Structure 1
Amino acid sequence: MAQTDLLEGKARLGRKRDHTRDAEILDAALDVLAEEGYDGMTIDMVAARAKAGKATVYRRWASKTDLVLDAVACLKPNDIDYASPPDTGTLRGDLVAMVKTPTIRESERKLKIMGGIVSMIARDSELADAAQAALVEPRAGANRIIFQRAVDRGEIPADSDIDTLCMIGPAMMTYRSLMLQLPASRDLAIATIDRVILPAAGIRPTTN
């Protein structure tokens, strides 16, 4: 082999991997996952959606599972700071302040992604952990802060089952989206707060 060929070969081996398209590929993977589910998803579909070569995807992720794990873990947050949810002074005000149209759309997308990986969650504990951290925990954590505030204000009883109260809204939205295939809306979310969540917390709301 000529010296020039050896040098070129070493240059190729030492070339830094280009990660500039990673975000586009991961976002494309989430779109395909939401539409096709894990079992129906293929690397070809992701590459086509991202307008990238199949080899480009495989150079970054050795398998579909690796790609999905990274995509789920890198889900973009919406415009709500879940670590510091709105503090309006009342439980209803805080819950309603969390209901924004862009947030609802993003939540629906996340539910579809969750539906797309359900078949794998039971078989892959790492994927289950990633889904819990990216799809469930941020909103659940915000809800716990909101309900704990209500306890601290004396608005709801100190022995309120906060974990169960936190799950009511997400559980209803999940059932409506995944099982009934119906869209969510701000009006529906607020009706759920007034007619289900607040009464479950022991509050008879005064709607505005």
Structure 2
Amino acid sequence: MSQTDLDEPKPRLGRKRDHTRDPEILDAALEILAETGYDGMTIDMVATRAKAGKATLYRRWSSKAELVLDAVACLKAGEIDLDALPDTGTLRGDLVAMIKTPSMRDAERKLKIMAGIVSMIARSPEMATAAYAALVEPRASVNRVLFARAIERDEIPADSDVERLCTIGPAMAAYRVLMLGRPVDREFLEDTIDGVILPAAGVRPGAE
């Protein structure tokens, strides 16, 4: 049996599937995706990291692609409650209030996972859809709420291109992590808010 890949379908075994270890296996898959990328990932790596037998993985997933799809989809768990977002009264205050150490670490991890599945996204519409839903949309949905509030307060123009504004921060963070190899820290995020996002939204310097 090849140890290089899960791309080739493996025969299903007759034993009843045990899903109790799925979270550990999926998390191990995500860690390896972030470290090696999809093409460098093997079933042996995942099994070793999760301390599980290869047969356990083969009974649950018939291919590496299927495993990765499930792993990426599980990232949606624990999304931010849009009804409980900070409301400071200003767009800058709201954006800055969203800068939290755990969320920064999570965002950086997701960026590395996204980099790891780029080759698969290019050839799999299903993975492209799953990646957008798990890695892009959660943060975009938060930003939509914050910019909508700013419009309601007449803080930014009513005809602001909210979808474009929602992508500025994530795009700059992605470039910093994936291209420059530098961490996304609080200073970088606040500089991006003050120097790029707020001006792009039409907030004048000192308007706060």
Q: TM-score, normalised by structure 2?
A: 0.89
Q: 1:30 to 1:20 in 2, by over 3 A?
A: same
Structure 2 partner of 1:193: 193
Q: 1:201 to 1:138 in 2, by over 3 A?
A: same
Residues 90-121 of structure 1: per-residue CA shift (max 9 Å, x gap)? 10111011111110000000000000000110
8 A Cα contact 1:33 1:116, kept in partner: yes
Shift of 1:170: 0.4
Shift of 1:80: 3.7
Structure 2 partner of 1:41: 41
8 A Cα contact 1:92 1:193, kept in partner: yes
Kindly indicate whether residue 171 of structure 2 is the aligned counterpart of residue 174 of structure 1: no
8 A Cα contact 1:110 1:135, kept in partner: yes
Moved more, 81-90 or 165-174: 81-90
Q: 1:128 to 1:83 in 2, by over 3 A?
A: farther
1:204 match: secondary structure: coil
Give the Cα–Cα distance (whole angstroms) in 2 for the partners of residues 206 and 52 of structure 1: 56
The higher radius of gyration belongs to 1
1:158-173, aligned counterparts within 5 Å? 158-173=158-173
Q: CA RMSD in A?
A: 1.9
Structure 1 partner of 2:97: 97
Structure 2 partner of 1:71: 71
Larger helix percent: 1
Give the Cα–Cα distance (whole angstroms) in 1 for the partners of residues 182 and 25 of structure 2: 28
Q: 1:82 to 1:31 in 2, by over 3 A?
A: farther
Shift of 1:17: 2.2
Residues 128-150 of structure 1: per-residue CA shift (max 9 Å, x gap)? 00000000001001101110110
Structure 2 partner of 1:18: 18
8 A Cα contact 2:76 2:134, kept in partner: no
Shift of 1:74: 0.4
Give the Cα–Cα distance (whole angstroms) in 2 for the partners of residues 83 and 68 of structure 1: 31
Give the Cα–Cα distance (whole angstroms) in 2 for the partners of residues 98 and 61 of structure 1: 37
2:37 match: secondary structure: helix
Residues 149-175 of structure 1: per-residue CA shift (max 9 Å, x gap)? 101110001111111111110000000
Residues 9-49 of structure 1: per-residue CA shift (max 9 Å, x gap)? xxx95x64221100000000000000000000001000000
Give ranges in structure 2 of 5+ residues lacking alignment: 1-12
Give the Cα–Cα distance (whole angstroms) in 2 for the partners of residues 83 and 65 of structure 1: 35
8 A Cα contact 2:110 2:135, kept in partner: yes
8 A Cα contact 2:80 2:138, kept in partner: no
Shift of 1:85: 2.5
Structure 2 partner of 1:118: 118
Structure 1 partner of 2:7: none
Identity of aligned residues (%): 70
8 A Cα contact 1:79 1:103, kept in partner: no
Kindly indicate whether residue 123 of structure 2 is the aligned counterpart of residue 127 of structure 1: no
Give ranges in structure 1 of 5+ residues lacking alignment: 1-11
Give the Cα–Cα distance (whole angstroms) in 1 for the partners of residues 149 and 181 of structure 2: 34
Give the Cα–Cα distance (whole angstroms) in 2 for the partners of residues 53 and 83 of structure 1: 42
